[in-house]
Structure 1
Amino acid sequence: MTWSDLSRRRVWLPLLFLAGWLSTAHAETPREKEQPERPNVILILADDLGYGDLGCFGQQKIKTPNLDRMAAEGMRFTQAYAGATVCAPSRCALMTGLHGGHAPIRGNQEIKPEGQLPMPAGTVTVAHLMKQAGYRTALIGKWGLGHPGSASTPDKMGFDEFFGYNCQRLAHEHYPPSLWRNSEQVPLDGQQYSHDLFTAEAVKVIRDNRSRPFFLDLSYTVPHQKLQVPDLGPYADEPWDPKLKTLAAMMGRLDRDVGTIFALLKELDLDRKTLVLFASDNGAAYQDELFDHSGPLRGRKRDLYEGGIRTPAIVRWPGQVPAGVVSPQVWAFWDLLPTLADLTGQPKPAATDGVSVLSAFRTNEPVDHPPLYFEFHEGGFQQAARIGDWKAVRRRARGPIELYDLRTDPAETRDLAAEQPDQVRRFEKFFEGARTESPHWPIREQPRARPAAAKPAAS
């Protein structure tokens, strides 16, 4: 039964700081006694889901009734941002509270035979924060921020339980030969759909921890490639390209299992005790006219235009987050860490680019947000930033700046750089100070930038 069936800081912090900050992680603190009803927190992260892929964000072809209902019973954010335009740096921003100018992972960088460039030992994560607050922490799904045996595996980065893919490249295969449970590799027969295994594991985590506060990062791998799904469901008879039917069915399966999670919360009487956040890790990887994945926005995955970095974010917490609200509050993945620090009554770690947006979640009162910063390293070096309603995109190292007014032109169709030289200079200065140098992520002077994303027709 589904739910719808039921009515400027550096990240490489000294190890001594981490040890001191976490020294009471397993001890009962006075704050825990004072706040016995701390909410559970579930983060549901889709992989390569576009801004326009949900019904509540304008999708017409793919049905997402459970996520639409989540939005109706919670708050939908039209100006929320992922951490980056590709997987690993976006997830690093989510984990560390650092944007792409300060985070240790600023791009996808594979480590063979399995895994990615790890975060440094001593990195403080959201999971560390929640453990410090007395939460049981679990990551189900994709990690992509280290390799087996490195200093940056989930069990070393604050998670009590991990089941899923350590390597994001291997996560392209939804019928994997093996997955990881903590530090042990679990062989599979290649016939089991990993998404279904993740849902079953998430159900177990919730049941096992129903009597104590828990933080669950449910990091699904759909609808990321490959295009694979056990059945096409309601899309089997649609007169579409077979690939598009598979893609739609993958999204439908995601929606179905979001419903499964909410049904379980109701069954266990945890519904009003649980804050649930939904988002996608970056823009849509696919581009087709049928589904219009980016909706009204320009660009997609691997672009720094809005379609590559805005995420279809929804927050639900009955009795605490107002229902049926559409919020223009600007926030980004690096705000999660300070927001959860605020939620659990902990001081915000010094090394964070984020701010707490908890009051925006609970009261819909706007929070003044500092400038947003993004960078992208594949095929060269690109930057983007948002200051107020102004958005700047620089598509090659130290190249010309494109300037857009998102208040009047969210589709980024009119470059106002020639008309607004003062704003261009403002962004030039901001770009100079927005990042720290990193040996892993140098500024490349001779990029091989892809062609500019197509601009939507002006409305």
Structure 2
Amino acid sequence: MRRRCLWRMIFAIGACQMAMLICACGARPNAPAADRVDGETARVPSRPATPLNFILILADDLGYGDLGCYGQRHIATPRLDQMAAQGMRFTDCYAGAPVCAPSRCALLTGKHTGHAQIRGNAHIRRVPLAAREVTIAEVLRNAGFATAAIGKWGLGGPGTEGVPMRQGFDSFYGFLTHAEARRAYPEAIWRDERLEPLTVDTHGQASFADDLFTEEALEFIERNATGPFFLYLAYTAPHFDGGGEVVVPDLGAYADRDWTDAVKARAARITRLDRDVGRILDRVDALGIADRTLVLFSSDNGPRVGDDFFQSAGPFRGAKSSLYEGSLRVPMIVRWKGTIAAGGVSDYAWAHWDVLPTFAALAGVASPQGIDGISIAAVMKGDAPPAHPPLYWETHELQFEQAARMGRWKGIRRGLRGRIRLFDLAADPGESVNVAAQHRDEVRAMRAFLDAARVNSPDWPVE
């Protein structure tokens, strides 16, 4: 019955998207996705003659509209704007989830929140990333890459299977838990699986955490310049500190602005993040490895509620924790000198769970089975883009909700039997008008996809 209904909707949704939807509805939950490479199946890519390095830089609560190259007019981000000018900027890239832990899980495992092991922040203390999960680091380390995670982890605390050293990383330097990551001036930082005390200066002042992460990242790149290497650099900026405010060593160029201290601090923190990313790019250039190093910059989710002075969510509705575009759509800038054309802008819609298969394809190794992502290497190179399956999210923070994007259509549903709110992103990117009543075929297709896109999890029960 469902398939007959779906076929009647082909002309409304598009044959390619609908074919993917039918496969999803009829497939065994958690079925292997074959060896997905560049959108194809059952083909293991060949290893490149010169191995590629990967640097994945992640901001924390940075909004779509917080960067100059995405329309920001008040916060200076010259280095990230330059990175976009030297590479490609994506306008329709999505985080894996609306909050930290599940977003990072989707990014590292290639699974959206309908299949991922971690689907929310609420239970992260008792649901660390399991040893059975395969991360980007494991895929690349098995192919001979040196791997390092630096910064905020958030997928498992001390002594659990979820710590970086048990998830494919050769080394780790940073915060294991979300609570630790709210200390801008920590007294200790984890190095591998040992808590390393930090020294303080003569005034009793500890070091600023993100500064330490940048220095550690520069040293890792220097040590492994001959490659290949994978660096996952997850900054804490511009997330607020344990006191609920954004903390930064100095306000810089914003000190004299006629703004509140909180607004000044957020701007200064973002500009400092921009500076740090610039230092990473400068080191790659100075070592002469920019033509064999792919650098990605993005954010784990959108800005928190209240970060609207700078219109941090850009033109979109909503903020962190919601399933609106302001929470899910994030900056994504990629640079690979000599391969990715400079100054490119792409509206190809993809998500963080596509990063793993993209890196795998470019490294010449197969992706793990059972993932949701596909390689978008072709898009980065300017080749014909692969057809992308519909995008899916679910959240368990305040109440269970689901969302999906299918082409131009975005659907959001509260509960498994709730009514679907439908938005036409092509005409209404701000999701201001619910058009469900005018597009019943699309609503039925959206409902069928939402019903089929997830598998039940005992850790994330839905009543």
TM-score normalised by length of structure 1: 0.88
Q: Partner residue of 2:97?
A: 84
From 368, 372, 378, the counterpart of 2:397: 378
From 326, 332, 338, the counterpart of 2:357: 338
Residues 9 and 352, structure 1, Cα contact 8 Å, conserved in 2: no
Matched, 1:238 2:248: no
SS in 1 for 2:56: strand
Cα offset for 1:429?
1.2
Distance 1:319 1:364 in 2: 15
Distance 1:162 1:12 in 2: 32
Equivalenced residue count is 416
TM-score normalised by length of structure 2: 0.87
Distance 1:397 1:352 in 2: 23
Cα offset for 1:358?
0.3
Amino acid at match of 1:50: G
Residues 327 and 364, structure 1, Cα contact 8 Å, conserved in 2: no
Cα offset for 1:121?
1.8
Cα offset for 1:169?
2.0
Distance 1:286 1:319 in 2: 40
Cα offset for 1:154?
0.2
From 130, 133, 145, the counterpart of 2:155: 145
Cα offset for 1:119?
1.4
State the Cα deviation string for residues 294-324 of structure 1 (Å, max 9, x = none): 1111111011011110110001101111110
Matched, 1:93 2:112: no
State the Cα deviation string for residues 337-365 of structure 1 (Å, max 9, x = none): 11111101112221110111000011153
Distance 1:317 1:288 in 2: 32
Matched, 1:212 2:227: yes
Matched, 1:71 2:81: no
From 195, 200, 206, the counterpart of 2:215: 200
Residues 140 and 202, structure 1, Cα contact 8 Å, conserved in 2: yes
Matches within 5 A, 1:7-406: 35-109=48-122, 117-188=127-198, 189=200, 191-226=206-241, 227-363=246-382, 365-406=384-425
The 3 A distance-change label for structure 1 pair 423 and 11 is closer
Cα offset for 1:205?
0.3
Cα offset for 1:36?
4.5
Cα offset for 1:109?
3.0
Cα offset for 1:110?
5.0
Residues 88 and 335, structure 2, Cα contact 8 Å, conserved in 1: yes
SS in 2 for 1:155: helix
Distance 1:66 1:367 in 2: 30
SS in 2 for 1:418: helix
Amino acid at match of 2:231: L
State the Cα deviation string for residues 220-276 of structure 1 (Å, max 9, x = none): 010001211111111111110000001111001100011101111111111222100
Identity of aligned residues (%): 50
Residues 141 and 221, structure 1, Cα contact 8 Å, conserved in 2: yes
SS in 2 for 1:211: coil
Distance 1:86 1:422 in 2: 31
Q: Partner residue of 1:26?
A: none
Cα offset for 1:214?
0.5
Structure 1 range deviating more: 392-401 or 221-230? 392-401
SS in 1 for 2:423: strand
Distance 2:216 2:51 in 1: 23
Amino acid at match of 2:252: G
Structure 1 range deviating more: 81-90 or 398-407? 398-407
Cα offset for 1:42?
0.3
Residues 122 and 397, structure 2, Cα contact 8 Å, conserved in 1: no
Residues 376 and 386, structure 2, Cα contact 8 Å, conserved in 1: yes
Q: Which has the higher contact order (CA 8 A, sep 6+)?
A: 2
Residues 318 and 327, structure 2, Cα contact 8 Å, conserved in 1: yes
The 3 A distance-change label for structure 1 pair 116 and 191 is farther
Residues 140 and 217, structure 1, Cα contact 8 Å, conserved in 2: yes
Q: Over aligned residue pairs, what C-alpha RMSD do you find? A: 1.8
The 3 A distance-change label for structure 1 pair 11 and 219 is farther
SS in 2 for 1:360: helix
Cα offset for 1:396?
3.7
Q: Which runs of 5+ in 1 are unaligned?
A: 1-7, 14-30, 445-459
Cα offset for 1:129?
0.7
Cα offset for 1:11?
7.8
State the Cα deviation string for residues 186-230 of structure 1 (Å, max 9, x = none): 112461110000000000000010112110000001000121111
Distance 1:77 1:289 in 2: 22
SS in 1 for 2:277: helix
Residues 176 and 190, structure 2, Cα contact 8 Å, conserved in 1: yes
Cα offset for 1:283?
0.6
Cα offset for 1:288?
4.2
Residues 10 and 103, structure 1, Cα contact 8 Å, conserved in 2: no
Cα offset for 1:287?
2.5
SS in 1 for 2:210: helix
SS in 1 for 2:279: helix
Q: Which runs of 5+ in 2 are unaligned?
A: 1-26, 33-44
Structure 1 range deviating more: 42-51 or 278-287? 278-287
Residues 88 and 108, structure 1, Cα contact 8 Å, conserved in 2: yes
Amino acid at match of 1:179: I
